[in-house]
């Protein structure tokens, strides 16, 4: 395929949480992409040293503009630079779109269950936004595991009571006052009802840290879901 | 004049002397992994040397710990460009294992629990240049750093110091190991910056 | 990153493999010769990125491929044995 490295100019950086940012780039010649796909971002130092990292695309195709979600990892080589230092108007290089496995294609308008751990919500947000843009009538469910209310990305979009989007926030450390569910890691009982609402052939997309994805994958199998209907993406 | 400040090297120069080309110093001890971390109990652990004729010499954990133990403080250099100075280890010189091993082989393929391998010339493991270490900085070597025991061959890049080592196979031929077979250097001398095939 | 056993998955091989393969690779089907588990390349467990990328069977950790980037070259070994292919990467 030999994808080209393309110049990407930073247009806009928006805070999502205290440490997470949405970065919008203009990439001349961008060929478009599918929700769920990612790009490789390449940074080059003055002495020629290069670092490459993968970031998920947070929004459906929109001409030559792409939106990435970046969680700043303390001590990280690339993410703190992207989250805080890269000046607007400056360029990085991107390669993509990448990956045809963890995707939801435009013709897939059937219901689906999306399960996110932390910043794993980024590629799922692209699926949700595409679903809304297409006006698809079917129901998307999002189970979104976050530590505290302050860690929720895309808060406005996810809580606007769209009848075609059912969002359940699962707090692991601290929940807003009045939340019935005590803060805890995701368990089988959190999955039972959402899984039961999805046909056995419906696709479940799981994205998050490695341990989260492994746990959710095992629980889904415990619930009897066909492994072929589960698509996962892990990050370290 | 040489009686003043013995052993003083000066910070900048000492760094330059001790840092191989292309390396940077770190206080951290980064963990690089090519697979799941093996969890090996010292109850079942064994270290085996197999000669080119198929003869085997094996040590249990208890037998290994009964061999003469040495302390060594050394600089280590990872091919991913970090170097760490003055790392303190405790273990057994490989000379002690080879004392009764009859061999005319030139090469060694080290094998690890978990399947990792790396190749070295036998002479680089002898004459006080290499150890099987089980203690780092006074504590039992942790699994992520290769515990219960790993090779320590500090004059070569650290991928030669096989973590979770379980045996050495002697051979007349130099057979590439896990990383050597994907472009990394057969020998891996940090001072000659032998990172990749052809360097 | 704190967990030493943390791994990524085959999705992250899409970029590196695009430098040497003409088709998108993460949907490629693979069957483990060790435990007979099968699935797409995207579901392999991937360790790295340094000193190289190692993709393993999610069931038994058998090595499916190793990929090392070295300057203008990409080294690729399929399976657990030796015998690498060295490609000149297409860069632009």
> Which residues on B lie below 8 Å from C57 (Cβ)?
none
Distance CA A102, CA A108 (A): 13
What pLDDT score was predicted for residue C4?
42
Q: Are the Cβ atoms of C14 and A5 closer than 8 angstroms?
A: no
Residues A150 and A77 in one domain: no
Domain count, chain C: 1
Residues of chain C short of pLDDT 50, as ranges, are 1-4
The mean per-residue pLDDT over the stretch A168-173 comes to 96
* C34 Cα to chain B: minimum distance (Å): 13
Query: Is the predicted pLDDT of residue A127 greater than 60, yes or no?
Result: yes
Residues A82 and A175 in one domain: no
* B180 Cα to chain C: minimum distance (Å): 9
* C65 Cα to chain A: minimum distance (Å): 17
Distance CA A20, CA A55 (A): 13
Q: Which of B97, B102, B103, B110 shows the shortest CA–CA distance to B68?
A: B97
The mean per-residue pLDDT over the stretch B87-92 comes to 98
CB atoms within 10 A of CB B118: 26
Q: Any chain A CB within 8 A of the CB of C92?
A: yes
Distance CA C84, CA C75 (A): 6
Q: Out of A111-115, B27-31, B158-162, which region has the weakest mean confidence (pLDDT)?
A: B27-31
The mean per-residue pLDDT over the stretch B174-189 comes to 96
Q: Any chain A CB within 8 A of the CB of C75?
A: no
Q: Are the Cβ atoms of A210 and C27 closer than 8 angstroms?
A: no
Contact B152, B146 (CB under 8 A): no
- Identify the three-state secondary structure at position B107: strand
Query: Is the predicted pLDDT of residue B142 greater than 90, yes or no?
Result: yes
Q: Which of B117, B158, B182, B184 is most worth mutating to test chain C (most C CB atoms within 10 A of its CB)?
A: B182
Residues A90 and A131 in one domain: no
Residue A103 lies inside a defined structural domain of this protein:
no
Give the chain C residue whose CA is nearest to the CA of B158. Answer: C51
Q: Which of C66, C20, C22, C59 shows the shortest CA–CA distance to C43?
A: C59
> Which residues on C lie below 8 Å from B79 (Cβ)?
51
What's the pLDDT tens digit per position in A84-104?
Answer: 999 999 999 999 999 999 999
Whether the bond between A46 and the residue before it is cis, its omega within 30 degrees of 0, is no
> Which residues on A lie below 8 Å from C41 (Cβ)?
101
Last residue of a domain, one of A37, A69, A98: A98
Q: Which of C3, C4, C6, C11 is most worth mutating to test chain A (most A CB atoms within 10 A of its CB)?
A: C11
Nearest to C54 among B34, B175, B176 (CB): B34
Which residues, in sequence order, are CB contacts of B11 under 8 Å at separation 6+?
none
Above pLDDT 70, what percent of chain B?
92
Contact A92, A85 (CB under 8 A): no
ipTM: 0.90
> Which residues on C lie below 8 Å from A124 (Cβ)?
none
The mean per-residue pLDDT over the stretch B89-104 comes to 97
DSSP string, B21-87: TT-EE-SS-----SSPPP---TTT-EEEEE-TTS-EEEEEHHHHHTSPPEEEEEEEE-TTSEEEEEE
Contact B109, B171 (CB under 8 A): yes
Query: Is the predicted pLDDT of residue B1 greater than 50, yes or no?
Result: no
pLDDT band at A1 (very low <50, low <70, confident <90, very high): low
The pair of structure tokens assigned to C48 is 């790295």
What pLDDT score was predicted for residue A161?
81
Q: Any chain A CB within 8 A of the CB of C82?
A: no
Rounded to 5°, the CA angle B3-B7-B9 comes to 115
pLDDT band at A40 (very low <50, low <70, confident <90, very high): very high
The mean per-residue pLDDT over the stretch B71-75 comes to 97
Residues A55 and A169 in one domain: no
What pLDDT score was predicted for residue C3?
40
What pLDDT score was predicted for residue A3?
81
Instruction: Give contacts of C 6-35 with A, CB under 8 A.
Output: 6-12, 14-15, 18-19, 21-24, 26-27
pLDDT band at B14 (very low <50, low <70, confident <90, very high): low
User: Phi and psi at residue A158, in whole multiples of 5°?
Assistant: -85, -10
What's the pLDDT tens digit per position in A43-87?
Answer: 998 888 888 899 999 999 999 999 999 999 988 889 999 999 999
Last residue of a domain, one of A98, A121, A147: A98
Domain that holds residue C26: 8-88
Distance CA C58, CA B113 (A): 18
pLDDT band at B7 (very low <50, low <70, confident <90, very high): low
Domain that holds residue A41: 6-98
Nearest to A1 among C9, C11, C21 (CB): C21
Q: Out of A66-70, B17-21, B118-122, B158-162, which region has the weakest mean confidence (pLDDT)?
A: B17-21
Nearest to C52 among B114, B176, B182 (CB): B182
Entry pTM: 0.90
The domain B18-27+44-192 having CATH identifier 3.30.420.40: the answer here is no
CATH classification of the domain holding A60: 2.40.30.10
Local structure of residue A148 (DSSP, 8 states): S
CA-to-CA separations, A142 to A94, A117, A139, in angstroms, rounded? 29, 11, 10
What's the half-sphere exposure (Cβ side, CA atoms, 13 Å) at A133? 12
What pLDDT score was predicted for residue C2?
34
> Which residues on C lie below 8 Å from A100 (Cβ)?
14, 24, 26-27
Residue A81 lies inside a defined structural domain of this protein:
yes
Contact A20, A69 (CB under 8 A): yes
What pLDDT score was predicted for residue B2?
45
User: Residue A188: beta bridge partners?
Assistant: none
Give the chain C residue whose CA is nearest to the CA of A37. Answer: C11
Q: Which of B151, B138, B69 shows the shortest CA–CA distance to B109?
A: B151
Residue C45 lies inside a defined structural domain of this protein:
yes
Distance of CA B175 to the CA centre of its chain: 18
> Which residues on C lie below 8 Å from A208 (Cβ)?
none
Q: Any chain C CB within 8 A of the CB of B164?
A: no
Give the chain C residue whose CA is nearest to the CA of B198. Answer: C70
Long-range contacts for A103-106 (Cβ within 8 Å, ≥24 apart)? A103/A34, A103/A35, A103/A36, A103/A37, A104/A34, A104/A35, A104/A36, A104/A130, A104/A131, A104/A203, A104/A205, A105/A34, A106/A34, A106/A130, A106/A134
User: Which residue do the tokens 């230092």 mark?
Assistant: A85
Domain count, chain A: 2
Distance CA B145, CA B153 (A): 14
pLDDT band at B5 (very low <50, low <70, confident <90, very high): low
Residue A1 lies inside a defined structural domain of this protein:
no
Q: Which of C52, C63, C74 is most worth mutating to test chain B (most B CB atoms within 10 A of its CB)?
A: C52
Residue C2 lies inside a defined structural domain of this protein:
no
Query: Is the predicted pLDDT of residue B40 greater than 50, yes or no?
Result: yes
* B10 Cα to chain C: minimum distance (Å): 33
CB atoms within 10 A of CB C31: 11
Query: Is the predicted pLDDT of residue B16 greater than 90, yes or no?
Result: no
Residues A119 and A91 in one domain: no
């Amino acid at each position: 395929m030999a994808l080209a490295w393309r110049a990407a100019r930073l247009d806009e950086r928006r805070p999502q949480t205290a440490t997470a940012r949405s970065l919008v780039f203009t990439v001349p010649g961008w060929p478009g992409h599918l929700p769920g796909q990612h790009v490789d971002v390449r940074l080059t130092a003055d002495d020629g040293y290069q670092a490459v990292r993968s970031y998920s695309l947070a929004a459906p195709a929109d001409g030559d503009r792409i939106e990435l979600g970046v969680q700043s990892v303390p001590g990280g080589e690339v993410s703190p630079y992207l989250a805080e230092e890269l000046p607007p108007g400056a360029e990085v290089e991107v390669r993509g779109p990448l990956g045809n496995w963890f995707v939801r294609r435009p013709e897939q308008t059937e219901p689906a269950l999306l399960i996110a751990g932390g910043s794993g919500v980024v590629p799922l947000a692209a699926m949700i936004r595409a679903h809304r843009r297409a006006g698809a009538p079917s129901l998307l469910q999002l189970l979104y595991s976050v530590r505290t209310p302050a860690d929720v990305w895309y808060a406005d979009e996810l809580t606007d009571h769209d009848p075609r989007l059912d969002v359940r926030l699962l707090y692991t450390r601290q929940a807003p006052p009045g939340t019935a569910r005590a803060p805890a890691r995701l368990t089988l009982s959190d999955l039972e009802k959402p899984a039961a609402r999805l046909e056995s052939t419906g696709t479940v997309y799981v994205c998050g840290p490695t341990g989260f994805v492994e746990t959710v994958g095992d629980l889904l199998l415990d619930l009897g879901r066909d492994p072929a209907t589960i698509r996962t993406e892990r990050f370290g | 004049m040489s009686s003043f400040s013995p052993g003083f090297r000066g910070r900048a120069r000492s760094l330059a002397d001790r840092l191989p080309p292309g390396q940077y110093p770190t206080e951290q001890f980064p963990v690089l992994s090519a697979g799941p971390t093996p969890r090996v109990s010292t109850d079942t652990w064994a270290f085996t040397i197999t000669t080119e004729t198929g003869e085997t010499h094996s040590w249990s954990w208890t037998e290994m710990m009964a061999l003469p133990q040495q302390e060594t403080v050394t600089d280590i250099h990872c091919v991913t460009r970090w170097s760490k100075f003055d790392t303190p280890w405790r273990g057994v010189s490989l000379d002690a294992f080879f004392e009764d091993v009859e061999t005319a082989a030139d090469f060694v393929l080290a094998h690890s629990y978990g399947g990792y391998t790396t190749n070295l010339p036998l002479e680089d493991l002898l004459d006080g240049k290499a150890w099987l270490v089980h203690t780092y900085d006074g504590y039992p070597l942790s699994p992520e750093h290769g515990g219960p025991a790993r090779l320590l061959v500090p004059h070569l890049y650290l991928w030669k110091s096989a973590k979770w080592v379980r045996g050495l196979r002697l051979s007349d031929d130099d057979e590439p190991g896990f990383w050597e077979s994907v472009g990394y250097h057969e020998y891996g001398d940090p001072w000659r910056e032998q990172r990749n095939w052809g360097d | 990153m704190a967990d030493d056993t943390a791994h990524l998955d085959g999705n992250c091989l899409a970029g590196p493999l695009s430098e040497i393969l003409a088709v998108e690779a993460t949907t490629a089907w693979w069957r483990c010769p060790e435990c007979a588990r099968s699935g797409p390349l995207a579901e392999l467990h991937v360790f790295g990125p340094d000193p190289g990328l190692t993709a393993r069977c999610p069931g038994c950790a058998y090595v499916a491929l190793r990929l090392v980037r070295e300057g203008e070259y990409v080294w690729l070994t399929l399976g657990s044995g030796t015998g690498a292919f060295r490609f000149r990467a297409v860069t632009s």
